[in-house]
Structure 1
Amino acid sequence: MITSPLRVTGGRYDRGVRIHVVYRSHGGENSKARPDWYSKLVGLQSFCRAVETLASQRPAAGPEVVFLNDGPIPRDRAQLMAAWGDPVTISAGSNRRSYLTGLSLARRRGWDVHDLVLLAEDDYLWRPETLVSLLDAACDPRSARADYFAPYAEPVPDDGRPARWGPVESTTSTFAVRVGALLQDERLLQLCAYSGGDFDYASCLTLQGRRRFSLRELVSHHAEDGGSSPLRALARGAYLTGMRSAVNLRSLRRPSRRRVLLGAQPALATHMEEGWISPGPWERIARDAADV
């Protein structure tokens, strides 16, 4: 709870705002192409190092970390989670259901509307300064109109300087948001999650007042994996057309309700998937993180 007005000196955090983290994890793996230095354990270790950096440099800011685990987690990761936060086991069964559960935690736990919540996925690698930079960006007076922040966004070159924050079009399901904005936008984010396909992209555009689906995309949909009966395919098509039409309508937001999304440039985190790795010394960061 904020007990005094927020003070910012030179864009640096003084006191008031706290960070809450919802770190979504699953014990299994998928078939995505991964770099040689990939592992979910290394990703978790790098994140814990970012938590440690924030705690040492901004002790009043938290963070409160909830590890939202969809099913059982391997012992090495479970032990690390217990040491650094609050492990919570759920039975979501899908990325979308886990994501929706994570969205609801700000409301269910009664987090202060002035705070930040970071929703993080378990196949990302994090720079040590990520949470400090995120907090400073959110508390910078120049970012007062921004409600959403993306540690991983556009793949700009890494010039070795500290990350700058600027407007971006989109990010993934790993992002930060002011709690007050999340409480207002929760139903819209839920709607976007049921629109099929890249719902994170749909969410980012819709929040900013941009139409996501073209007329063709409203009526033409990818078939289900493994195929389906003609009746089921017809029902699914009608459902997706309705959901996508609703998403497009929700993008017609009043200018005062359109959200601003800022992204870190260069990225403070990277998705550990071939073809989607941000510029940066990520192999070295992965090696260093293993020492946590």
Structure 2
Amino acid sequence: MLHVVYRSHGGENAKGRPSWYSKTLALRSFLRAVEEAGEPVDVVFLNDGPIPAARLELMRPHGRVRAITGGSNRASYLAGLKLAVRADWSPDDVVLFAEDDYLWRPDALASLLQTAAQRRAEYFAPYGVGTHDDIEGRVPQWRRPRAARGESEVPADVVRWVPHESTTSTFAVRVGALREDHALLVVCCLSGGDFDHTSLLAVQGIPRFTLRDLVDHHEGASSNPAVKLARRAYLVVFRTAVDVGSLRRPSRRRRLAAADPAVCTHMEEGWLAPTPAQRPAFWDELAERTAAWDGAGTAAGPLVRP
């Protein structure tokens, strides 16, 4: 069975967004994917702080709504992990952690369920990204998931799940693997910088930090020498723990499969997933169709043209 922990926050930030961006649009696209999953999906809406009433009304018919006071992305992420680890879900179930600023293809969850049934991986990236050059301060370049040698571009209506390096905080994992990896994921979350990228490397048995990362990093906003020293010591401890934790036996190294083409996209300028073959306006079209969706799966029309 597929469970979803959909993390949402009522506020906004200063990130550059596409013209069609809204968290309501993101939620509608996710609900459409739930409707078209092909089997029941168990959804928990984990809301950090107040959520606009109209968005809450969209959530309530489709899952359980839980309110928390996290106050940060890390806090709500850790709360989502704890919720999933403590739930009475089967180890063979899959849980998807979804953020509230993604646009989902209608076939996204159906595709995830199909690939999860093949049991070729423990972690799944509906939106895969490449590696960062540094832990902080640099923007990574998008990398397509690694296709098999000699294979051509994938048509829009065909999704393959292939080995990949990393992803964001929107990912899926088998519940049994999550329970075994929970402590490592928490340590990764406390290691500073792009903890989601760090986490997916660590569970695959790939050390994240070099010696330079351990001893030479950004000092942070404080000018207080004592605070700087404390932060430096803190990061050295947790980053060392991450690298030690990533030195796993081969039998404990997880496999990450990413959708190619992506079945969702982060709605942030510079971070939109590559469009499928010969569909340069794919995400713009999907946003328009999602906005027209009437909740019965009819108004938006087909996602993929014949």
Q: What TM-score, normalized to structure 1? A: 0.89
Matched, 1:172 2:168: yes
> What is the 5 A alignment of 1:148-187?
148-154=123-129, 156=144, 159-187=155-183
What residue in structure 1 maps to residue 133 of structure 2? none
Residues 237-260 of structure 1, C-alpha deviation per residue, up to 9 Å, x if partnerless? 001001101111111100000000
Q: CA deviation at 1:161?
A: 3.2
Q: CA deviation at 1:148?
A: 0.2
What residue in structure 2 maps to residue 199 of structure 1? 195
What residue in structure 2 maps to residue 231 of structure 1? 226
Output the CA distance in 1 between the equivalents of 2:220 and 2:51: 29
Which secondary structure state, in structure 2, belongs to the residue aligned with residue 35 of structure 1?
Answer: coil
Residues 157-187 of structure 1, C-alpha deviation per residue, up to 9 Å, x if partnerless? 6632311010000000000000000011011
Gaps of 5+ in 2: 130-142, 145-152, 276-281, 296-306
Residue type at the aligned position of 2:14: S
What residue in structure 1 maps to residue 290 of structure 2? 289
Aligned with residue 146 of structure 1, among 108, 121, 145: 121
Aligned with residue 264 of structure 1, among 259, 262, 282: 259
Residues 26-75 of structure 1, C-alpha deviation per residue, up to 9 Å, x if partnerless? 00001110010111100000000000001xx22xxx21100000001011
What residue in structure 2 maps to residue 6 of structure 1? none
Q: How many residues align?
A: 266
Aligned with residue 110 of structure 1, among 79, 82, 88: 88
Output the CA distance in 2 between the equivalents of 1:41 and 1:172: 21
Output the CA distance in 2 between the equivalents of 1:122 and 1:224: 27
Output the CA distance in 1 between the equivalents of 2:219 and 2:283: 36
Which secondary structure state, in structure 2, belongs to the residue aligned with residue 99 of structure 1?
Answer: helix
What residue in structure 1 maps to residue 3 of structure 2? 20
Residues 59-108 of structure 1, C-alpha deviation per residue, up to 9 Å, x if partnerless? xxx21100000001011111101121111100001100100010111222
What residue in structure 1 maps to residue 19 of structure 2? 36
Residue type at the aligned position of 1:252: L
Residue type at the aligned position of 2:22: S
What value does the CA root-mean-square deviation take over the aligned residues? 1.2
Residue type at the aligned position of 1:263: A
Which secondary structure state, in structure 2, belongs to the residue aligned with residue 77 of structure 1?
Answer: helix
Gaps of 5+ in 1: 1-17
Residues 97-131 of structure 1, C-alpha deviation per residue, up to 9 Å, x if partnerless? 10001011122221111100000000100000000
Residue type at the aligned position of 2:61: A
What residue in structure 1 maps to residue 247 of structure 2? 252
Moved over 6 A (4+): none
> Greater share of helix residues, 1 or 2?
1
> What is the 5 A alignment of 1:8-157?
18-54=1-37, 57-58=38-39, 62-140=40-118, 144-154=119-129, 156=144
Output the CA distance in 2 between the equivalents of 1:159 and 1:133: 14
Output the CA distance in 2 between the equivalents of 1:238 and 1:52: 48
- Preserved CA contact (<8 Å) 2:219 2:232: no
- Preserved CA contact (<8 Å) 2:85 2:182: no
Output the CA distance in 2 between the equivalents of 1:228 and 1:103: 34
What residue in structure 2 maps to residue 14 of structure 1? none
Identical residues among aligned pairs (%): 57
Output the CA distance in 2 between the equivalents of 1:101 and 1:158: 36
Output the CA distance in 2 between the equivalents of 1:288 and 1:21: 23
Which secondary structure state, in structure 2, belongs to the residue aligned with residue 65 of structure 1?
Answer: strand
